[in-house]
Amino acid sequence: MIAGPAWLFCPADRPERFDKAADRADAVILDLEDAVLPADRASARRSLAAVPVDPCRTLVRVNAAGTPDFPRDLDAVAATAYRIVMLAKTESAAQLDPLAEAGFRVVALCETAAGIEHADEIARHPSVIALMWGAEDLIGSLGGHSSRADDGGYRDVARYARSRVLIAAGAASKPAVDAVHLDIADSAGLRAEADAAAAVGFAATACIHPSQVPIVRAAYEPAAEEYEWAADLLEEARAHAGVFRFRGRMIDAPVLRQARTILERVARHAGAEA
């Protein structure tokens, strides 16, 4: 799994942006799908090989299985050093078989009604290293026109999809990536969303603009007081064989796991910064 919580989409037909995106984000998603006009996809595929960036921190979003662009995208990626792909509009585990046969690891993007419904089986596919969800394509697949309410928060169906993907990923012991926040100017909304994502167990949040990267990183990095609490708690736990009280709170195995998660997040953040 790619270290670091801020994944940045970059249109694959804009090779002059590849290096900048790689410098700013923890992972770069070179996009052959929605960010590229159909007429420009051939040149975008050529750019993958012409302007390489670190393959350990780069994945390529390919078009949905069953589309004419899908095999062309796979051929183009196969000619590069990139071995992680994001499959747009993943709807079944069977769609992942060609990717596995080609030796790719997959971030499965569940962003349609069928994809959300089959998230469990998708997560269990051996080629899948992470799940991601998407709100806008999901609403479109349902015949709707808005994923968000007037207050800026997700509508119930989008919240359900977000939770479904997170739980499916967790049940398969794989990480989940939260959806993009489309309102680039809404820094406060992005921070609140990323705070919530980190709190419930998402491993990363996708970004659509470099300005969003530091906001996401800050949200996923535990505050100093959280780190201190977790470190002190785990030290205190050495002296106890079972349930005990710490700073007025009952401590049992689930709380200890949460404390370990905080320390792991700190370590991942340090690794991403290095």
Sort residue 4 into left (φ over 0), alpha (ψ -120 to 50) or beta: left
Q: Are residues 195 and 260 in the same domain?
A: no
Domain that holds residue 261: 224-273
89 pLDDT band, cuts 50/70/90, is: very high
Q: Are residues 210 and 261 in the same domain?
A: no
Q: What per-residue confidence (pLDDT) applies to 274? A: 57
Q: How far apart are CA 259 and CA 235, in angstroms?
A: 11
Q: What per-residue confidence (pLDDT) applies to 224? A: 79
- Asked whether the predicted pLDDT for residue 272 surpasses 80, the reply is no
Q: Are residues 120 and 183 in the same domain?
A: yes
Using one digit for the tens of pLDDT, what is the confidence trace for 132-164? 999 999 999 999 999 999 998 999 999 999 999
Average of per-residue pLDDT across 6-34: 97
Report the run of H or E that residue 131 belongs to, with start and end. strand 128-133
Q: Are residues 96 and 65 in the same domain?
A: yes
Please check whether residue 1 lies inside any domain of the structure. no
Q: Are residues 245 and 191 in the same domain?
A: no
Boundary (domain end) residue, out of 183, 199, 220: 220
Q: What per-residue confidence (pLDDT) applies to 17? A: 97
Please check whether residue 100 lies inside any domain of the structure. yes
Q: Are residues 139 and 172 in the same domain?
A: yes
Using one digit for the tens of pLDDT, what is the confidence trace for 201-228? 999 999 999 999 999 999 998 777 888 8
DSSP readout, 54-117? -GGGEEEEEPPTTSTHHHHHHHHHHTSS--EEEETT---GGGGHHHHHTT-EEEEEE-SHHHHH
Please check whether residue 136 lies inside any domain of the structure. yes
Using one digit for the tens of pLDDT, what is the confidence trace for 44-80? 999 999 999 999 999 999 999 999 999 999 999 999 9
Please check whether residue 140 lies inside any domain of the structure. yes
Please check whether residue 150 lies inside any domain of the structure. yes
Using one digit for the tens of pLDDT, what is the confidence trace for 183-203? 999 999 999 999 999 999 999
Strand partners, 10: 30
Q: How far apart are CA 241 and CA 243, in angstroms?
A: 7
Please check whether residue 91 lies inside any domain of the structure. yes
- Asked whether the predicted pLDDT for residue 258 surpasses 90, the reply is no
Q: Are residues 231 and 154 in the same domain?
A: no
CATH of the domain at 216: 3.20.20.60
Q: How far apart are CA 148 and CA 145, in angstroms?
A: 9
Q: Are residues 248 and 214 in the same domain?
A: no
How far is CA 217 from its chain centroid?
13
Q: Are residues 131 and 175 in the same domain?
A: yes
The domain total for the chain is: 2
